[in-house]
Structure 1
């Protein structure tokens, strides 16, 4: 769920009492600058308005949207909070502030904002969409779905304007209201593509599709999006354009199916994995042994994912994990002799294997953004070697394993997370379509990553354009 419902979308919500005659013009100019990607100038325009009229809702709200879009999320949250403080009855302000709180993990505070928004506008689709997102993050899927059903509009389409030169490639992106979508911000540059985005669950198939040359099915999480993939098939039946990641290829990439599909491939070690009810976990622990990994389906980045080292810790772990069913996963030890764990990520892009990153950490659950890469030059050197020459870094056996996994899954776009064991075999963690390619931070220590990641983004963009 992204922040960013604009005040322009809801002109009745803009309060300009006391505006000087030029404020409306200043706001239109700032909005136009933002729409054309001239973000620094737009920011200065919004700030100039607020210097004259600190109560201008449109400037506060849309400044927050701009800051969110350009990854200044803390500053965006402050702008949204100020908009709510000065305009407590404005529904859009409440929704955007709540979305920013959800993104920051402040669920209690977000819930309070959305409760007020529901009282102000009980039927507002954006309020229900945000409430569904909040409840899903809290693990209450049933209540989330109730709100999600109230969030659909007859034509669930949004548009990313083209800001390049020449004729753009027109892309229709299919997404799910449930989430589990491929982040497309960097691979679908507004300098190359004119993008229409369609939410499949709420789309009326009697509505004509917008102009497009290629369809990118961005619905990527097969554990939670089976219904959305079915809806995507209904949308695809309306046209004949080529498709990136057809739903029938994504449908079989849930965690359990993937582990079963790749387990018997040469040089691959995949964990045993089953979906069980909470009450069945102790029995499954006897089969898999400890340590045991437990995961609530449908979550990423370590949310609702626990490692249970012994039976005495099991009840506490179960109490923290929502949902009727859990994934019980065999633990594969990816640590080296020094106790460091490694997680490699390789992207599958149009039949090519593209190295993306290597994360090294003392934590069993390795994520790049929480790993120890910034602290240790030798870790960065090891990652640089992997990015420069992947076959030399991981070995022939692991390369053969990656090629077999890519062929087995058949995705146009996706990623594989893995480690290498002491025999040079691939320890399979996961593979799916939802993995993001994100440019590195601005600090010079990450300069070695810029060219490899730029190549990955270019490969994905070219693959999509070539399909058209």
Structure 2
């Protein structure tokens, strides 16, 4: 058996919590990129430098080059280490797979402000065994749901029983079940939750609907226009559009190359103020924590494009929601969170959701890879620093508690 990896300059990387905030603040990344490039020029096998370069390029929108460097780094070695604080805390090993920042649980952000040591161990569908892992106290399955991750999660189902250390989210099939159609089916009969019926259909079927050769309801039982449609495997609103009628589909399809799509009914979730409000919440060890709330006059709500930084009134709504979350939102939706915990059944997961006038929770998506962070400016968003610190501390408490079961 080969020796387990040890902490060294050959394995230690900057980490997402270091790189992405620099890009978020608009800092010049070229000096850092140039330093890592010089390391690679001196030693082409410097996988840690390649990994840092991949993160830098990904954070500055150079996705294709970033993925090529990531692939090269992982081909050289499977283990990379991020040290938080003085590194005296628990050693957490996360099973991850190559991809962008939304491919895996953002563990690096969740450990921000701690003294934890994070090991990233890359796996794929061809991983033979887990015989040479870095020494750790607790592990975490961090591979998020995605069509291309199905074989990876299937492989982990076979490999994880080999481990003697405790594992968080030790249920790859439950992660795989968090597809958009899987989540809608999971909560179809839950009275406290509306997860709109979501259908996966192929391109030919959608083209037939657009051309009038068949009807939407004939392909997707009970579904009528208006609908929302998006390519399978996309996130952050990629390719997401609203179609009022079949004649809206030809132009949509002309701009998409995907072979499969998700279609679902359009739900008008505007509040009394006429704005759409979407909340991101993570559930840690059974308890929900607020991630962010965004308000927008458009039905596709993204925090970065919702104008939260420019609108003090919107920020006041978010601040009040965060500050009263435990006594108000979480209490009013206690039945929904109980159902989410029962049916999803993972130690850590997130949801994007909204409140409906009838009191139900409208769930758009559930996954383990939703990004929650503390990068927002403390002067503009002072309340978010407090909420994120509470969330990060809860994650660390769960890690310590799980690690303690092995002692």
Common fold by TM > 0.5: yes
1:157 equivalent to 2:79? Answer yes
Aligned-pair CA distance for 1:222: 4.6
With normalisation by structure 2, the TM-score equals 0.79
Aligned match of 1:311: 246
Aligned-pair CA distance for 1:305: 2.0
SS in 2 for 1:185: helix
The whole-number CA distance in structure 2 between the counterparts of 1:217 and 1:94 is 24
Inter-CA distance 284–255: structure 2 relative to 1 (3 Å threshold):
farther
Larger Rg: 1
Mark the runs of 5 or more structure 1 residues left unpaired by the alignment. 1-7, 11-34, 40-64, 115-125, 131-147
Aligned-pair CA distance for 1:206: 6.8
Q: 1:258 aligns with which of 178, 183, 188?
A: 183
Q: 2:205 aligns with which of 280, 302, 309?
A: 280
SS in 2 for 1:366: coil
1:332 equivalent to 2:267? Answer yes
Aligned-pair CA distance for 1:225: 1.4
1:170 equivalent to 2:91? Answer yes
Aligned match of 2:4: none
Q: 1:369 aligns with which of 304, 308, 311?
A: 304
Superposition pairs of residues 62-73 of structure 1, within 5 angstroms: 68=19, 70-72=21-23
Aligned-pair CA distance for 1:440: 4.5
Inter-CA distance 320–215: structure 2 relative to 1 (3 Å threshold):
same
Aligned match of 1:195: 118
1:218 equivalent to 2:142? Answer yes
- 8 A Cα contact 2:192 2:335, kept in partner: yes
Aligned match of 1:117: none
SS in 2 for 1:342: strand
Aligned-pair CA distance for 1:321: 2.7
SS in 2 for 1:427: strand
1:227 equivalent to 2:151? Answer yes
The whole-number CA distance in structure 2 between the counterparts of 1:352 and 1:408 is 14
The whole-number CA distance in structure 2 between the counterparts of 1:353 and 1:67 is 26
Provide the aligned length of Structure 1 versus Structure 2. Answer: 376
SS in 2 for 1:327: strand
With normalisation by structure 1, the TM-score equals 0.70
Inter-CA distance 417–128: structure 2 relative to 1 (3 Å threshold):
closer
Deviation readout 1:432-467 (Å, 9 max, x if unpaired): 111222014224221122211110111011111210
Superposition pairs of residues 27-46 of structure 1, within 5 angstroms: none
The whole-number CA distance in structure 1 between the counterparts of 2:182 and 2:36 is 46
Q: 2:108 aligns with which of 185, 188, 195?
A: 185
SS in 1 for 2:119: strand
1:382 equivalent to 2:317? Answer yes
Mark the runs of 5 or more structure 2 residues left unpaired by the alignment. 1-8
Inter-CA distance 77–308: structure 2 relative to 1 (3 Å threshold):
farther
Inter-CA distance 438–284: structure 2 relative to 1 (3 Å threshold):
farther
Aligned match of 1:295: 230
Aligned-pair CA distance for 1:260: 0.8
Inter-CA distance 224–406: structure 2 relative to 1 (3 Å threshold):
farther
- 8 A Cα contact 2:154 2:173, kept in partner: no
Aligned-pair CA distance for 1:127: 7.3
Aligned-pair CA distance for 1:422: 1.5
Deviation readout 1:216-270 (Å, 9 max, x if unpaired): 1111225431111123234423322111111233122221111111121122112
Aligned-pair CA distance for 1:314: 1.1
Inter-CA distance 313–465: structure 2 relative to 1 (3 Å threshold):
same
Aligned match of 1:399: 334
SS in 2 for 1:300: coil
Aligned-pair CA distance for 1:69: 5.4
Aligned-pair CA distance for 1:313: 2.2
Higher helix share: 1
Aligned-pair CA distance for 1:308: 2.2
Aligned match of 2:3: none
Aligned-pair CA distance for 1:191: 4.2
SS in 2 for 1:153: helix
The whole-number CA distance in structure 2 between the counterparts of 1:69 and 1:376 is 24
Inter-CA distance 319–98: structure 2 relative to 1 (3 Å threshold):
farther
Aligned-pair CA distance for 1:397: 5.2
The whole-number CA distance in structure 2 between the counterparts of 1:402 and 1:85 is 47
The whole-number CA distance in structure 2 between the counterparts of 1:198 and 1:71 is 25
- 8 A Cα contact 1:384 1:448, kept in partner: yes
SS in 1 for 2:129: coil
